[in-house]
Amino acid sequence: MKNVIRVASLIAAMGVVGSSAFAAAPKSIANLQKAYVGETTAASKYTQFSADSSRRGFKAESLLFRAAAQAEEIHAGNHAAVLREMGGKIPTPGVYHMPPSHNLTNSQVVESHLKDAAKGEMYERNIMYPTMIKQAETEHAMKAVNTFQFALAAETQHAALYKKYAKNLGANKVAKVFYVCPVCGATWEGYSPKNCPTCGTSSTEFKKVR
Ligand SMILES: [Fe+2]
Ligand SMILES: [Fe+2]
C-alpha cells in the first residue's frame, strides 16, 4: 500500500513539473526570450542592410544579408516553438533602427553593415549561445539546448561569410543562389551539401535565396 502511495505521489509530482517548465527551467525560458528578441532584431537589421546595400549598388552583399535574414527568422521561429512548449511568453519581436550615414561613401556604409553583422554573429557564436547551451543543459531543457545549437552552427557560418565579404568588399561576386536549411537555418553560398550537417535535412528541402 505504501508503495502505491509513493508511486501515486511521484506521478503527481511529475505532473506538476511537466506543467510548470518555467519553475523547472527559468534560465532557459529567459534565455529563449532573449534569443528570440536577438534573432528577430537580426532579421530586421539584415533585411534593412540588404535593401540599403542593393540601393548603393552592392548586389552580392545585399543577397548575403537577405539569405542570413531568412536564417535568423528560422531561428526565431524555432525558439518561439520551444518557448510555447515550455509555457513561456513569446516577447514582442525586435525591430532594428538603422542609424543615419551622413558623410560616408556607399562602400564605407556597406562595409560598416558587414562589420556590424560580423560582430553580432561573433558575439552569438562565442559568448551568447555557448552560455545559453550550458545553462539549458544544467536545467535539462534539451529542446532549448537543441534550438540554441542549431542557431550556434548557423551563426558560425554567417560570421565567416560576413568576414569574407567585408574583406573582399567591392570584389565580391554575386552568388547565383544561397541555400538555407528550413529546419536549422544553416546557410551556404552557391553550393549546398546533400544533407544538412547540423540537422540532417535533405537538400531538396533547402530554401533557395536569389
Ligand atoms: Fe546569423
Ligand atoms: Fe539544417
Could you give the angle at which helices 26-55 and 129-138 cross, rounded to 10 degrees?
160
- Does the residue 73 lie in any domain? yes
pTM score? 0.89
- Does the residue 6 lie in any domain? no
- Give the number of other CB atoms < 10 A from CB of residue 72: 28
- Does the residue 20 lie in any domain? no
Q: Give yes or no for residue 157 having a pLDDT over 80.
A: yes
- Give the number of other CB atoms < 10 A from CB of residue 91: 15
- 161-173 pLDDT, tens digit each: 999 999 999 899 9
Segment (H or E) for 156:
helix 142-167
Q: Which ligand has the minimum distance to the alpha carbon of residue 203?
A: 2
- Confidence tier at 102 by pLDDT (50, 70, 90): confident
- For ligand 1, the distance from its centroid to the CA atom of residue 3, given in whole angstroms, is 52
Q: Give yes or no for residue 79 having a pLDDT over 60.
A: yes
Q: Please state the length of the chain.
A: 210
CA distance 155 to 121: 5
- Does the residue 118 lie in any domain? yes
CA distance 162 to 121: 9
- 1-56 pLDDT, tens digit each: 444 444 444 333 433 344 455 558 999 999 999 999 999 999 999 999 999 999 99
Which domain covers residue 48, as residue numbers? 25-96+106-209
- For ligand 1, the distance from its centroid to the CA atom of residue 68, given in whole angstroms, is 6
**How many domains does the structure of the chain reveal?**
1
- For ligand 2, the distance from its centroid to the CA atom of residue 195, given in whole angstroms, is 8
Our CA angle for 202, 207, 210, nearest 5°, is 140
- 114-150 pLDDT, tens digit each: 999 999 999 999 999 999 999 999 999 999 999 999 9
**pLDDT at 18 (0 to 100):** 44
Instruction: For residue 158, give the CATH number of its domain.
Output: 1.20.1260.10
**pLDDT at 123 (0 to 100):** 98
Percent of the chain with pLDDT over 90: 84
- Does the residue 15 lie in any domain? no
The mean pLDDT value for 81-109 works out to: 96
- Does the residue 87 lie in any domain? yes
**pLDDT at 81 (0 to 100):** 98
**pLDDT at 10 (0 to 100):** 39
- Does the residue 66 lie in any domain? yes
Q: Which ligand has the minimum distance to the alpha carbon of residue 151?
A: 1
**pLDDT at 1 (0 to 100):** 41
In the structure, ligand 1 is a single-atom ion and the residues with CB under 5 Å from it are 155, 158
- Does the residue 205 lie in any domain? yes
Task: Return mean pLDDT, the chain.
Answer: 91
The mean pLDDT value for 50-72 works out to: 97
